[in-house]
Amino acid sequence: MCVEAIPPPSSALTRRGVLAGAAALAGTVAAAGQATAAGADRGAASGRRTPGATARVGHLVIHGGTLLDPATGEVTEDAVVVIEDGTVRAAGRRGGVTVPQGFEVLDAHGRWILPGLVDAHIHLSTAAEARDAVRKGATSARSGSASFYQDIAVRELARHSPALAPRLKAAGVFVTPNLGDTVLADPDLTPLARLKDGVRSAEALRRVVDVNLARGADVIKTRVNERAGLPEQDPLAQVYSREQLAEIVAAARRGGKGVLCHSYSEQGCHDAVMAGIRSLEHGAFVGERTLREMRRRGTYFTPTLTAIAGLAESSDPILAERGRTYLPILKRAVIAAHELGVPLAAGTDSSGGAVDPIGGEVELMHSAGLSPLDAIRTATTGAARLLGLTRTAGRLTRGYAGDALLLSGDPLADLSVLKRPVGVVRAGVVAA
Ligand SMILES: [Zn+2]
The per-residue pLDDT for range 195-211, each reduced to its tens digit, is 999 999 999 999 999 99
The stretch 39-54 carries a mean pLDDT of 58
Instruction: Say what the alpha-carbon torsion angle 6, 8, 10, 12 is, to the nearest 10 degrees.
Output: 160
Asked if the model's pLDDT at residue 68 lies above 90, the reply is yes
On the question of pLDDT at 26 being above 70, the answer is no
Residue pair 124/156 in contact (Cβ under 8 Å)? The answer is no
11 alpha carbon – ligand 1 mean position (Å)? 33
Instruction: Give 349 Cα–ligand 1 centroid separation in angstroms.
Output: 5
Q: What is the pLDDT of residue 56?
A: 85
Considering only residues 419 and 9, tell me which one the structure prediction assigns the higher pLDDT. Answer: 419
Confidence of residue 8 (pLDDT cuts 50, 70, 90): low
Q: What is the pLDDT of residue 353?
A: 87
According to the model, what pLDDT value does residue 42 have?
38
Q: What is the pLDDT of residues 258-290, one digit of tens each?
A: 999 999 999 999 999 999 999 999 999 999 999
Helix (H) or strand (E) segment spanning residue 50? strand 49-50
Helix, strand counts (H, E) of the chain: 12, 16
Q: What is the arithmetic mean of pLDDT over 383-407? A: 98
- The Cα 343–Cα 198 span in angstroms is 34
**CA 59–ligand 1 middle distance (angstroms):** 35
Per-residue model confidence (pLDDT) at position 41: 37
How many Å is the maximal CA-CA distance in the chain? Answer: 69
DSSP state for residue 14 in the 8-state scheme? -
**Model confidence band, residue 51 (pLDDT cutoffs 50, 70, 90):** confident
What is the per-residue pLDDT for 187?
97
| pLDDT tens column, 342-357 | 999 999 999 988 899 9
172 band by pLDDT with thresholds 50, 70 and 90 = very high
Residue 65 Cα to ligand 1 midpoint, Å, equals 35
Say if residue 46's pLDDT is above 70. no
Nearest 10 degrees: CA dihedral of 42, 165, 183, 217?
A: 160
CA of 357 relative to ligand 1 center, distance in Å: 15
Which comes out higher in pLDDT, residue 48 or 215?
Answer: 215
Distance 261 CA to ligand 1 centre (A): 9
Output the CA–CA distances (angstroms, integers) from residue 387 to 143, 165, 219, 392, 432, in the order listed.
10, 16, 9, 10, 24
CATH 1.10.10.350 given to domain 117-392: no
How many whole angstroms from 354 Cα to the centroid of ligand 1?
13
Q: Is the predicted pLDDT of residue 304 greater than 80, yes or no?
A: yes
Q: How far is ligand 1, taken at its centre, from the CA of residue 410, in Å?
A: 30
Whole-number Å distance, alpha carbon 123 to ligand 1 midpoint, is 6
Supply the pLDDT for residue 274.
98
The alpha carbon of 143 and the centre of ligand 1 are apart by a number of angstroms equal to 8
Ligand 1: centre distance to CA 97 (Å): 42
Q: How far is the CA of 228 from the centre of ligand 1 (A)?
A: 11
pTM value is 0.91
pLDDT at 54 > cutoff 80: no
For residue 174, the CA-to-ligand 1 centroid distance in Å is 10
Residue 347 CA to ligand 1 center (angstroms) comes to 9
Per-residue pLDDT tens for 353-388?
A: 889 999 999 999 999 999 999 999 999 999 999 999
Residue 228 is predicted with a pLDDT of 92
Q: Report pLDDT for 7.
A: 56
- The stretch 68-81 carries a mean pLDDT of 98
Residue 229 neighbours by CB under 8 Å, 6+ apart: 307, 311, 319
DSSP state of 2: P
CA of 338 to the centre of ligand 1 (A): 22
Residue 321, class by beta-carbon neighbours within 10 Å (0-12 exposed, 13-18 middle, 19+ buried)? middle
Residue ranges near ligand 1 (ion) with Cβ within 5 Å: 144, 349
Alpha-carbon gap, residue 307 to 167, rounded angstroms: 22
Interval between CA 403 and ligand 1 midpoint (Å): 24
- Please state at what angle helix 202-214 crosses helix 242-254, rounded to 10 degrees: 30
What is the CA(291)–ligand 1 centre distance, in A? Answer: 21
